[in-house]
Structure 1
Amino acid sequence: MPYAVVLYFNKPSEKFIRDIWSNLSENGIPSEIHHVGIRPHITLAIYDELTCQPCDSELSRFAPQTAHLHLDCTHLGVFTQPEKVLFLAPTPTRELIDFHAHIHSLLDHQTRGPWELYQPGQWVPHCTLALDLDQVKLDQAMSVCGNIELPVKLHATQIGVVEFLPVTEMVHFDLKEI
């Protein structure tokens, strides 16, 4: 099973995303994202294989030395391939891009089979709102989410690793509060 390295949010940011997930569901737009058991997040990397103990050690040392990330989500976006996915996108600041690249560098020797879309230079930072949508559901989801007042500030406070599917959280570590 593959592994994802993810950024988790503080409680208010997480609630904001969960409220969007609920609003979409209440408007007839089911999304697997809130049924698979993963918290709202931004995926930093996905690997086919990950050696857990060295990875855990690296992340446990990295997290308390690395400050929370304050993200300004300035737009909604859509991936169209291989499936339609609606997402909330943070502005890709130098801080976020460097954080992402550092994670890949840090875990390089503990992983195999990195997914190309999450590699530095390819990655589009995003928080998934709805996935596996047909065109009608995508149009409805865009209509529902069109009421989100942008920009939205999200506060990333933890880094974690999950195995999927089914989703199993392996570890998470708090980033340093400044």
Structure 2
Amino acid sequence: MSQGYAIELYFDPALENQVLKAWNVLARRQISTQLIEIESRPHITLFSSSYVEPLKLENIVKNFASKQEPVPLSFRSIGALPSDNNVLFLAPNPSLSLLHFHLQLCDAMKKEGVEIGEEYRADSWIPYCPVAEEVSRSRMAEAFTVLRDLKLPVSGYAMEIGLVEYSPVRELFSYALGNAVEP
């Protein structure tokens, strides 16, 4: 039974591997294995909702992706969300290109009548890439120490946009940004 859907931004292979390295270090230390267990993929969530029609989103995302170029990303810091899930994340530099990309997606969804919740509206969205979920409070300091040992910044590009159903995570579709498809 689906709890919702999320539009996610995916990275080039080198940047994805840097994020996976963080996941694996935290898993080996038995701090958090949640993202690996749910078979997530390194990403930045652009939109999430329980009340949306996936077919409608597919048309919006497919059309949107074809008009976009890969977005440069640079993860420069680590942080935590103040929630019950104790999420740790890598924070991308909130560049104009990333913020504009998100704003354009929001505009495309609004034009098609898709309701965007408060945390994903362009004026309140905080981009982040989760690296650990459900970290026990007693291990938060250790998790931060492990993540601090990563060689930041790590940089690359957002290359794909896709829709997942959760929970469990299941990718429904993804599209390369721009005209990356060979003729």
**% identity of equivalent residues:** 28
Q: Distance in 2 between matches of 1:15 and 1:149?
A: 13
- Contact 1:49/1:111 (<8 A) preserved: no
Q: Distance in 2 between matches of 1:122 and 1:22?
A: 31
For 2:50, what is the secondary structure of its paired residue? Answer: strand
**1:45 paired residue number:** 47
Which runs of 5 or more structure 2 residues have no equivalent in the other structure?
Answer: none
Cα deviation 1:73-124 (Å, max 9, x = unaligned):
1111111224321100001111111111111221233534x44222222111
AA paired with 1:92? P
1:36-75 matches, within 5 Å, as 36-75=38-77
Q: What's the TM-score once normalised by structure 2's chain length? A: 0.89
RMSD: 1.7
**2:24 paired residue number:** 22
1:122-141 matches, within 5 Å, as 122-141=124-143
**2:114 paired residue number:** 111
* 1:152 matches 2:140: no
Q: Distance in 2 between matches of 1:110 and 1:132?
A: 34
- Contact 1:3/1:46 (<8 A) preserved: yes
Cα deviation 1:7-42 (Å, max 9, x = unaligned):
011111111111110111111212311211121100
Q: What's the TM-score once normalised by structure 1's chain length? A: 0.92
Q: How many residues align structurally?
A: 177
The structure with more strand, counted as a fraction of residues: 1
**1:2 paired residue number:** 4
Q: Distance in 2 between matches of 1:49 and 1:104?
A: 16
- Contact 2:31/2:139 (<8 A) preserved: yes
Q: Distance in 2 between matches of 1:20 and 1:83?
A: 18
- Contact 1:50/1:110 (<8 A) preserved: no
1:59/1:52 CA distance change after superposition, 3 Å: same
AA paired with 1:169? E
1:164/1:13 CA distance change after superposition, 3 Å: same
